[in-house]
Chain A
Amino acid sequence: MLTTPQPSATTAAAPLAEADRPLSVRGLTVAYHHKPVLWDVDYSAPAGGPIAIVGPNGAGKSTFIRAVLGLVPRLSGEVRVFGRPVERQRRAIGYVPQRSSVDWDFPASALDVVAMGLYGRIGWLRPVRNRHREQALAHLDQVGMAEFAGRQIGQLSGGQQQRVFLARALAQDARLYFMDEPFAGVDAATERAIAKVLAELDRQGRTVVCVHHDLQTAPDYFRHVLLLNGRVVAAGPMETTFTVANLQVAYGGLLAAELAATAATA
């Protein structure tokens, strides 16, 4: 550790009404068995502009998202989405899990998977109808994948699979999106498609909270950043928070030269 940085202001200048705040996390602590992964995380996401979660491997970035969504148990902490407990805001939330989290040999077409994003609105025990398939196809088209609708998902490239996951999240029609490394290991066309979707969601006033690995591109795609390393290192607007000093603390002084170069160009 080089210095103890001052955490930047966690909110934009104008204070937000609780109901307008997309995400508000207080005192979040998560552990696997007896090993704590996240300690006392307080974070309040601003409305407007996609948010990157950045930090080294094992910093708890994915765990943060999974704990917010209730996929791993919270030892302590409160999570509110648009002013209400996250459990009561499921329809307002969209999710893009890591691509490696499912078995792609599953007997389903790209369209079948995108239609899963509509299940929440279709409701319990009701079948998927043709109009739902048409909606799903429109979302596939949004990510440039309409021509692959009938393809078995295992026969898609990694980037195409990622775009299928993105289209499924779009089908959820959510106000707040969580994405877990959507840019990891994708081709250039997919990266363009994801960037386009991020911009489109932002334009529609939807908030995206996205785990992002690539420090080089973080300032290009995101307006805000949450720097994590077991705890909140810093959070705030990209320009004032994505600094060499903060990154060095988050990454424990590793890769200092490289980080300096990255931040300098940001």
Chain B
Amino acid sequence: MTLAEVFDVLLFRAGFNTAVVLAGAAMLGAGAGLIGVFVLLRRRALVSDAISHATLPGVALGFLAAVGLGLDGRNLPILLVGAASTGILGILAVQWIRDRTRLPEDAAIGTVLSVFFGAGIVLLSHIQTLAVGGQAGLDTFLIGQAAAMSRADALLIGGAAALVVLIALAAFKEFALVCFDPDFAGAGGWRVGRIDLVMLALLLAVVVIGLKTVGLILIIALVIVPPVAARFWTERLNRMALAAALFGAASGYLGAAASALLPRLPAGGVIVLVAGALFVVSLLFAPARGVLAGAVRRLRFRMAIARRQGLLAVAGGEAIADPIARLVLRRNGLIDRQDRPTESGRTAAAAARREQRLWRRYRADYPTDAIADREWSLAPIDAVLPADLVAELERRVAAS
């Protein structure tokens, strides 16, 4: 494999078939990431795991039905209808157990998931013993196989995924409302149950059409990982949805490309690895909520506190006890090597002292406002309070 071959695949130049498969996988990833945002925010991540595992017996039954009808057992539409049917049965079983017994939902999910999956495995083993052709392709539903996809299959998958994206965008506001505050939605007359049902249907659609590409074990990852990664980048739902769709699309696209270049590589695994890499990068480096950004913010805060304490000590003519404060003041040229304040150090210390006195006066004289307005922690008082109020506080401090 040469670099040129890699670029040919990535740039949709490796034949029409490969291009269609890549586009289909990218659209599937976008749909999965987008609906995944709502699945995550509605706390339905585990339910989607139950759905995906519950599709396996349906795939096997679909195969048997197709063979019974005299068709090719690998007829994708029939297999997907079968998968969707048992997927729905799985959801209904979880909901029935949750509503009719005192079992918690996670216990219901664990039970349903494993029983349906077990049934699927038994049926698949049975199919392997039958004297019909086509069984060999069935195990790709477990771990996915993008390269083996036909053009018609890829168009079906991409088209259905595009439909999922359109519906999710149309109902964006309703989904957001139900995810954030279902009680408020219900009180306002929105049919929360029906909106949930549409969300669940879209999730089921993504899981079913993703079976062939990603496989049922890993499709859950394509639904959950992109939105989780996207959450690190933003505090806004629409941006989170956009990022999740892009992350999902990139995962599907790169995974399918890898599978096209190295046909023995399982597409599902590669797709999820790409999503996982995006997650790790987001977790570490995202500026909004990433680990590194958080550490930097904490460090800055710690240094600002140390600087303030050090300057207050200087203003009071005391020794600076905190070694970090000494370090910060020295680095800023506010004290010399013998810890004696420099000219600029004395100015800064006087300013810190003034800040402290004014804030204290403010908190003593306007206690309720001070509590309501907690923004003051380290901000300069002139920037937070109006000038006339600061001047009044100055007078009171001077008078006391």
User: Contact residues of A with B, CB < 8 Å?
Assistant: 66, 69-71, 87, 90-91, 93, 95, 97, 101-103, 106-109, 112-113, 116, 119-120, 122, 124-128, 152, 157, 159, 168, 172, 178, 187-190
Report, nearest first, the 8 A-B pairs whose CB atoms are least far apart.
Answer: A90-B189, A189-B372, A188-B368, A152-B235, A95-B187, A69-B187, A107-B237, A187-B372
Q: Among A71, A109, A128, which residue has the most Cβ atoms of chain B within 10 A?
A: A71
B374 interfacial contact with A, CB 8 Å: yes
Q: Are B240 and A107 in contact (CB under 8 A)?
A: yes
Q: Are B372 and A119 in contact (CB under 8 A)?
A: no
Q: Among A91, A108, A113, which residue has the most Cβ atoms of chain B within 10 A?
A: A108
- The tally of residues in B whose CB lies under 8 Å from a CB in A reads 31
Q: Are A172 and B188 in contact (CB under 8 A)?
A: yes
Q: Give the residue name and chain of the A residue nearest to B368 (CB).
A: A188
Looking at B150-158, B167-175, B341-349, the stretch in contact with chain A turns out to be B167-175
Query: Chain B at the A interface: mostly helix, strand, loop or mixed?
Result: helix
Query: Chain A at the B interface: mostly helix, strand, loop or mixed?
Result: mixed
Of the A-B pairs whose beta carbons lie under 8 Å apart in the complex, a sample of 13, sorted by A's number, is A95-B188, A97-B184, A101-B183, A106-B179, A107-B240, A108-B237, A113-B180, A116-B177, A119-B177, A125-B171, A152-B235, A187-B368, A187-B372
CA distance A93 to B183 in the complex (A): 13
Taking CB atoms and an 8 Å cut-off, the chain B residues in 73-108 that contact chain A are none
User: Which residues of A have CB within 8 Å of B374?
Assistant: 157
Q: Give the residue name and chain of the B residue nearest to A122 (CB).
A: B173
B8 to chain A, nearest CB (A): 39
User: Which residues of B have CB within 8 Å of A188?
Assistant: 368, 371-372
User: Contact residues of B with A, CB < 8 Å?
Assistant: 41, 170-174, 176-177, 179-181, 183-184, 186-190, 231, 234-237, 239-240, 368-369, 371-374
Told that A70-B186, A116-B180, A119-B173 touch, could you supply 17 new A-B pairs with CB distance under 8 A?
A: A71-B187, A97-B184, A103-B180, A107-B231, A107-B237, A107-B240, A116-B181, A116-B184, A120-B188, A125-B170, A125-B171, A127-B173, A152-B235, A159-B372, A188-B368, A189-B371, A189-B373
User: Which residues of A have CB within 8 Å of B177?
Assistant: 116, 119
User: Which residues of A have CB within 8 Å of B189?
Assistant: 87, 90-91, 120
CA distance A227 to B179 in the complex (A): 34
B174 to chain A, nearest CB (A): 7
CA distance A109 to B236 in the complex (A): 7
User: Which residues of B have CB within 8 Å of A70?
Assistant: 186-187
Given contacts A95-B188, A120-B189, A152-B235, contact A106 B173 (CB under 8 A): no
Q: Give the residue name and chain of the A residue nearest to B231 (CB).
A: A107
User: Which residues of B have CB within 8 Å of A116?
Assistant: 176-177, 180-181, 184
